[in-house]
Structure 1
Amino acid sequence: MNDTIVSNQVQIKPKSSSSLLQRVIKNRAIYLMILPGFLFFIIFKYVPMWGLVIAFQDYKPYLGITGSKWVGFDNFQRLFEEPAFFRILANTLILFGMNLLFFFPVPILLALMLNEVRHSGFKRTVQTLVYIPHFMSWVIIVSITFVMLSMDRGIINEMLAAAGYDKINFLLNASWFRPTYILQVIWREAGWGTIIYLAAMAAIDPGLYEAAKMDGAGRLRQIWHITIPSVRGVIIVLLILKIGDVLELGFEQVYLLLNSANREVAEIFDTYVYTAGLKQGQYSFSTAVGFFKSIIGLILVMSANKLAKKAGEDGIY
């Protein structure tokens, strides 16, 4: 009897290995579709992590990573001792807070409104129109902004002058940088951000809405009690991922809006790395700043995910 049990146990292992191989062969089309994305992350995300070691070196390109002098945490110490560090940190956090407060809810609201549109032709037209700005580069977006806000025949200032008001120098006024920044983000990304929410709403069981109608619930009550709870998990996941980008606001947009008049409120870590690091050839210092941003983002993602788990949500892992 013992011999039989042992022989059965021995036979189970190869069966398990062969079944795994069979599943891979059976689903080879799916694995082939995954392969390009997998290779992208390996080549462009994981392999370059080796370069993070230069954050702890006085890196010299002609000496390479192996030949450069090891300086430990000196680059990080320099970052924290920089006179501009807390100003840049404050600017970055304020812009992130504006993103979270003003931009993050907009795709949700827009998706809710589009989901209620019953005329498919009109719905597709609106979706196309709100998606288009996402495919424009920040150079084009900022150029359009300059044309609209310019003191010299700018559309907005011409309208103000026609209404009897004084013209406003939006582009060289520090107090107007942040509203300009967040309006650009909303216009460019709000429509694109609706895609995931609309996909989640399309998966909601129509029977729930039918039952709600039978109970006398109107459109607003159906949205509040069915639609929003059904996509709450998606909202939480995207919020957690958004929190991870707390110090990653993007370089192009801010750099194109940046000038000597608004630098005090506009300079963030991304532009600081470029001006104080890369332009002056301080590669180790630039890497240290990027490493610092990544660590903060990782800590916040893990903390937000843990809080979501405690609140009963699925989180991202």
Structure 2
Amino acid sequence: MTPVFNFSAGPAVLPREVLLEVQKELLDWHGSGMSVMEMSHRGREFMQIAAEAEEDLRAVMGIPANYRVLFLQGGATSQFAMVPMNLLRGKTSIDFIETGHWSKLAMKEARKYGQVRVAASGEAQGYNAVPAESDWQLDPQAAYVHYTSNETLSGVEFPFVPHTGDVPLVCDMSSNFLSRPVDVSQFGLIYGGAQKNIGPAGLTIVIVREDLLGQALPGTPTMFDYKVLAEADSMYNTPPTFAMYVAGLVFKWMQRQGGLKAIEQRNIEKAALLYETIDTSAGFYHCPVEKPFRSRMNVPFRLADERLDEDFIKQAAARNLLQIKGHRVTGGMRASIYNAMPLEGVKALTSFMQDFARNHG
């Protein structure tokens, strides 16, 4: 079978090794006679799967003991509400660093629960960079500071972790989760949807420092209270069992790759190759993001002659390079090159891009 390279922004490509393992175990998990999809979430078999998934995630990320790991539903978008419901904790204002589409949506939802302060914004520059940290206007009395570490649409990624002093730092890490090492102890809370680097859509991971649990806003639904969910080990209700199982296999795959340091180096190599192809195309292709803030995960680019866009997409698909069209909000092209995208996929894309430029230049 001719290999297909899927550049979708999410749901995204999964490691082939993991997919083959899922295929092998689909009808009978470890001799149980059951598919994971059929198991009780409180049965011995699935409890083992869940425990190993958390243990392996803790090992991969180096999560300290005073942080709880929650496997939840609702996507990262649900966290736009759950975070302020749980972390306002008697305060009224929240600081946001606005860097694009997803941080704007998080701000919009948070306004329902507290006062949103835009401590810094990249809007005036078209969201093509992270505002200089020295210019941020942070409030030391804020309940927390929220930022989006990688904007999936515009391809802007933070090359640093913000310094917020005693104010808890909250990060929507959805699209660069587990793509590089991070010091979890610098954060009050990390959250992200699984469908980029971790597993199937339907699973959301929240990593929250224990001292931030409790004091949810009055009227917070029980299912939105982190303390309740933590005390129930993410099983207050039926969790997304199959997605948790696949995520657990991905965590084990990451360990076999050499962990996040090795994965980061591969991501650097892939991104460098693609950006070099764009930058050396004599203007045929253009990336609008300033170089220090270019994402390793989501690479947006445009053709100088947008009349060629449809031909580019069709010819890419003919070479089994799929899901290359940019988001409807931003237009252009976007290649998402998450952990599971092999270097061979990026080489195939860059080879096509060079051929296309030669034929249409």
Normalising by structure 2, what TM-score?
0.22
**Which structure is larger by alpha-carbon Rg, 1 or 2?**
1
Which is richer in strand?
2
